[in-house]
Structure 1
Amino acid sequence: MDVEKYLSRIGCSAPCSPTLKTLRHLHLNHLLTVPFEDLSIHTGERVKLDLPLLYEKIVLKRRGGFCYENNGLFSWLLSQLGFEVHILAAQVKNRFTGAYGPPFDHFIMMVTLDGHRWLCDVGFGSGFQLPLSLETDSPQRQSHGVYRLRAQDKLVFMEVQSGGDAVKPEQDTAWNALYKFTLEPCQREDFRAMCDYHQSSLSSIFFCKSLCSLLLADGRITIIGRKLIISSLPTEGDQPVKTKTDLTEEEITELLRDKFGIVLSSPFTPKDVDIVPPPVNY
């Protein structure tokens, strides 16, 4: 890894000392510059988790990736910068089927700083923007939402607030789980089988839907199949706004280039089909 090239890719500059301020800055900038996308699956390519290949794809070719790629590479960067990083495995609650995925469904990481543990995740899509403290189950308000980490026995549920008042999240609030995980450290090799699963299973969102999404300062821009979705943050006194637009293949190519900085080297087939619920709700 050329650390300076990676930092430049995400709009940061060296040196970066291993502090909470640095961690927050890197985490947010990664989400603002590196798309969450599965386009390789829909161009006939295979996603491989070898770190040099992830570096080449995301840093040198200026692509994005799904969790195993974005978080896999980001965890390597943090280690290179001197952070204490532990890889963790999560199971995502599928928003289309309501079912949790199998073990090693999602790659996340825990960073320990001065005895304080932080959850980091730059590979989820519409998740949190800054590291979440693992030392509290209280709501943690960020620019794009309110989140909490709720412990239940050995499991931790990462949840987002829906409804209620963002200023007073304890009032009239519903919490939706996005994924669950344990604090047991994992190895990179542990995720290879599930990486293959997500490229071939009818129960995987990544196989069933081509997608590309990027955090914006004032919302999020996403392409799923042939549809463009733009979400904006609520302004004072107003509700958040979400617009959906049907796209031609030419428009998809233009948007990938102009909004995400992605130019694909292989023919791309947009896809958006129903997901088959897994046989087991893990």
Structure 2
Amino acid sequence: MSSVEMHVETYLSRIGFAGPAEPSLEVLRSVHTRHLMSVPFENLTVHSGGRIQLDPPLLYDKIVNQRRGGFCCENNGLFCWLLAELGFQVTLLSGQVKGTTGRYGPPFDHLILMVSLDGHRWLCDVGFGTAGFRVPLSLETSGPQEQGHRVYRIRRDTGMCCLEWQREENKGPDGDWTDIYKFSLEPRRLEDFDEMCRYHQSSPCSLFFCKSLCTVLKPGGRLTYIGHKLSTTTFPSEEAGGVLETTTRDLEDEEIPGVLAEMFGVVLNSPLIPKDETITPPPVMY
């Protein structure tokens, strides 16, 4: 993906992965989960005076050296490079997220990965957020795939694949399925996402322009910052009584840098302007 050298061991140390890193399903699952639990899904560059560029060396410096996070094109773009360096056969794919407005985003709205390993294809995504899956999902089945307290499936529909899930309170054979995003299996290049990368930094139809956010997976839950709020989610478990619980507290402007540093490991070079505005529905139906 780039002629610039990647320091694989430094990257693996950044995500807390230790051990042999041969291209196996066990390693793929491990680095996927470790990435989600170490690298935040965040757009704080957009709200602190910077611009996001999809140049692999810049992504490496930001996420590995500066210990920041990023949105889908950044996290998955860099993760693709890591997987390729480890010897995996990996393909960039274009997805369209079904957002809070109820509409799908434009093509190249979301960058995801497909890994082919021993004749089996796996969907990988370390750049999504709250509805994301912890370990890769099989692309060889349309049946339910359970991951702890959540269930996912990949439904085929007129040449597209649709990632769906059952929310925690709606699991089971009779539960309803909710769309997360749709995607095709056509191979893409990182530069194909440049236009949408700019869109997400400037459009009132984009979550990333309308809200300053940072979220990271934790053992047994998730931490999420948006605007002036910090939410702590505890996933259902026997110890937690089998119920998804979320607590939220308000933040003052002066608290936010400390919360980001302490809770997410994120230290910004420029002052953050917190933002939490309503997203405008896209004018076009996709």
For normalisation by structure 1, the TM-score amounts to 0.96
CA deviation after TM superposition for structure 1 residue 14, in Å: 5.1
| Residues 236-278 of structure 1: per-residue CA shift (max 9 Å, x gap) | 3432111111111222111111111111110100000001101
- AA in 2 matched with 1:50: D
Matched-pair contact (CA < 8 Å) for 1:4–1:13: no
The secondary structure found in structure 2 opposite 1:259 is helix
Q: 1:266 to 1:164 in 2, by over 3 A?
A: closer
For 1:242, which of 242, 246, 259 is the aligned residue?
Answer: 246
Percent pairwise identity? 57
Match of 2:107 in 1: 103
Match of 1:138 in 2: 143
The secondary structure found in structure 2 opposite 1:97 is coil
Q: 1:165 to 1:180 in 2, by over 3 A?
A: closer
CA deviation after TM superposition for structure 1 residue 19, in Å: 0.2
The answer to whether 1:173 aligns with 2:192 is: no
What number of residue pairs does the alignment pair up? 278
Matched-pair contact (CA < 8 Å) for 2:170–2:176: no
Match of 1:123 in 2: 127
The answer to whether 1:253 aligns with 2:253 is: no
The secondary structure found in structure 2 opposite 1:39 is coil
Q: Distance in 2 between matches of 1:255 and 1:143?
A: 28
- AA in 1 matched with 2:104: Y
Q: Distance in 1 between matches of 2:267 and 2:176?
A: 40
Q: Distance in 2 between matches of 1:34 and 1:145?
A: 21
Q: Distance in 1 between matches of 2:204 and 2:169?
A: 35
Match of 1:31 in 2: 36
For 1:20, which of 22, 25, 46 is the aligned residue?
Answer: 25
For normalisation by structure 2, the TM-score amounts to 0.95
CA deviation after TM superposition for structure 1 residue 107, in Å: 0.3
Matched-pair contact (CA < 8 Å) for 2:15–2:38: yes
For 2:118, which of 103, 114, 120 is the aligned residue?
Answer: 114
Match of 1:63 in 2: 68
Give unpaired runs (5+ residues) of structure 2: 1-5
The alignment's C-alpha RMSD in Å is 1.2
Match of 1:46 in 2: 51
Q: Distance in 2 between matches of 1:274 and 1:66?
A: 19
Matched-pair contact (CA < 8 Å) for 2:149–2:236: no
| Residues 32-75 of structure 1: per-residue CA shift (max 9 Å, x gap) | 00000000000010000000000000000000000000000000
Matched-pair contact (CA < 8 Å) for 2:59–2:78: yes
Give unpaired runs (5+ residues) of structure 1: none
Match of 2:266 in 1: 262
* Runs of 4+ residues over 4 Å off in structure 1: 163-166
Q: Distance in 2 between matches of 1:130 and 1:181?
A: 18
Q: Distance in 1 between matches of 2:122 and 2:141?
A: 10
Match of 1:210 in 2: 212
For 2:276, which of 263, 272, 276 is the aligned residue?
Answer: 272
CA deviation after TM superposition for structure 1 residue 163, in Å: 5.4
The secondary structure found in structure 2 opposite 1:65 is coil
Match of 1:184 in 2: 186
- AA in 2 matched with 1:69: E
